[in-house]
Amino acid sequence: MHPLVGLKVIVPGLVPHFFTGAAAGVFGNATGGRRGAMFGSFANGLIISFLPAILLVLLGDVGFEGTTFGDSDFGMIGVLILSIMKLLGLA
């Protein structure tokens, strides 16, 4: 936990940032040139940096306090499934 504000600190992994950012850059370059490469990599970096913070809160509601993963696929599917569970009253 961060001592000043009482929040958990998530340190994004270097490997997911490098490999998924590179893939996003390649696909972005293929569809949008240099702009696409920069936007794709930047968007990917934001997603895999901040999505685990959202997922951390939702996983705490179902008994997995302080647990999360830094991958975008796990984060997006996890947020979607846990949000549906919350709406249905299962979480």
Predicted confidence (pLDDT) at residue 48 exceeds the cutoff of 60: yes
DSSP H helical ranges for the chain: 14-61, 72-88
Give the mean pLDDT of the chain: 84
Predicted confidence (pLDDT) at residue 18 exceeds the cutoff of 60: yes
What value does the mean pLDDT take over residues 52-60?
83
pTM for the whole thing?
Answer: 0.70
Report the distance separating Cα 82 and Cα 25, nearest Å. Answer: 30
Predicted confidence (pLDDT) at residue 49 exceeds the cutoff of 90: no
